[in-house]
A = this chain, B = another copy of it.
Amino acid sequence: MIVRDFEQLKNTDRTVSDANWTSVRMLLADDGMGFSFHITFLDAGSEHTFHYKHHFESVYCMSGTGSITDLATGETHEIRPGVMYALDKHDKHTVRADAGADLVMACVFNPPVTGKEVHREDGSYAPADAAESA
């Protein structure tokens, strides 16, 4: 059994930050669960475009408000606590945190993130086999 505390991980190398977001990796690929689990903060007022071509991701809002736009359809959905979106078609999307409070999200990735990925210019993470093309 693995037991981890967000409060203990948030100042370690399990916490990754990039432009206007921070992610605490509670579970990564080497934990052997077959998925990774992250607590992710999108800074209040920030906007992000991601495209996980090689991963499925689900995102459950725990606090904050914002919106997500499906860039294939143009449809925008409100995000508030209790709303989940799942990128079952590797959907390219733009997610926004409203001003005033960070969006705090519980995120699951399949296949699991290794912890070494950074977002590439196209908004994706590299596949687990980094030799594979984007």
A-B contact pairs, 19 of them (CB 8 A): A1-B87, A1-B88, A2-B86, A3-B68, A3-B86, A4-B83, A4-B84, A7-B82, A26-B84, A27-B86, A31-B88, A33-B56, A33-B58, A33-B86, A33-B110, A34-B34, A34-B110, A37-B86, A37-B108
Instruction: Tell me if A89 counts as interface (CB < 8 A to partner B).
Output: yes
Instruction: Tell me if A70 counts as interface (CB < 8 A to partner B).
Output: yes
Say whether chain A's binding surface is mostly helix, strand, loop, or mixed: strand
A: number of interface residues (CB 8 Å): 36
Instruction: Tell me if A5 counts as interface (CB < 8 A to partner B).
Output: yes
Beta-carbon contacts under 8 Å, A15-48 to B: 26-27, 31-35, 37, 39
